[in-house]
Amino acid sequence: MTGQGATELTVQENAEELRRTVTRLFGRSLHIRTLDTGSCAACEQEIRLLAAPHYDLHRLGFFFTPAPRHADLLMVTGPMVRAFENAARKTYDAIPDPKIVVATGACALGGVYQPDAFTRGGAGGTLPVDVWIPGCPPSPLALLQGLLVAVGRLAGKVKDLDFSLNGTPR
């Protein structure tokens, strides 16, 4: 999906073009397939709430689908237990291109569980993740922000946050 003209584009322009293409394809209609790779289901509960009237992801054009063939975005939760790796890989392969992978929750981002004989410690080692959503579990608002960042409707802001407090304590 990168430009194929004779003139070289800068990295910045490439990224911008990519973002525009993604927004054009998915900005107004996105089908999400959730994948639980061994989580405690707290992330799943928050994801479930997205369809409830208060957060209502349908108004943003997002839909859940169980069939990978119909999905555009794979939302992965859980620390990727090794017994599930094959199934996760098969699910990813079953989704047609173009697709986006979103890792959700501290487990999928590599926290909480150390990699050992039973878990890989996060989705990053098995799947090519595009967007990371921290939280334990991430609230539905955080999930909405993550999905909108994934389709390019919002710009991520965590890059510019420094998590430093200056001055007197709150």
**Interface contacts to another protein, rule CB under 8 A:** 53-56, 59, 67-69, 86-88, 90-91, 93-94, 96-97, 106, 109-112, 114, 124, 129-136, 138-139, 141-142, 144-146, 148-150, 153-154, 156-159, 161-166, 169-170
By C-beta, is 3 or 96 nearer to another protein? 96
Least Cβ distance, residue 136 to another protein (angstroms): 3
Q: Which residues are CB-contacts of 109 (< 8 A; sequence separation ≥ 6)?
A: 103, 122, 123, 124, 132, 134
Going by the DSSP 8-state scheme, the letter that residue 123 receives in this structure is S
Least Cβ distance, residue 57 to another protein (angstroms): 10
Least Cβ distance, residue 150 to another protein (angstroms): 7
Least Cβ distance, residue 82 to another protein (angstroms): 12
Q: Residue 103: how many CB atoms within 10 A of its CB?
A: 27
Least Cβ distance, residue 9 to another protein (angstroms): 18
Question: What stretches of 61-111 adopt beta strand conformation (E)?
Answer: 62-64, 73-77, 100-104
By C-beta, is 9 or 111 nearer to another protein? 111
By C-beta, is 34 or 91 nearer to another protein? 91
By C-beta, is 9 or 42 nearer to another protein? 42
Nearest to 58 by CA among 95, 29, 99: 29
Q: Residue 17: how many CB atoms within 10 A of its CB?
A: 14
Round to whole Å and give the CA distance between 159 and 165: 16
Q: Residue 23: how many CB atoms within 10 A of its CB?
A: 14
By C-beta, is 29 or 89 nearer to another protein? 89
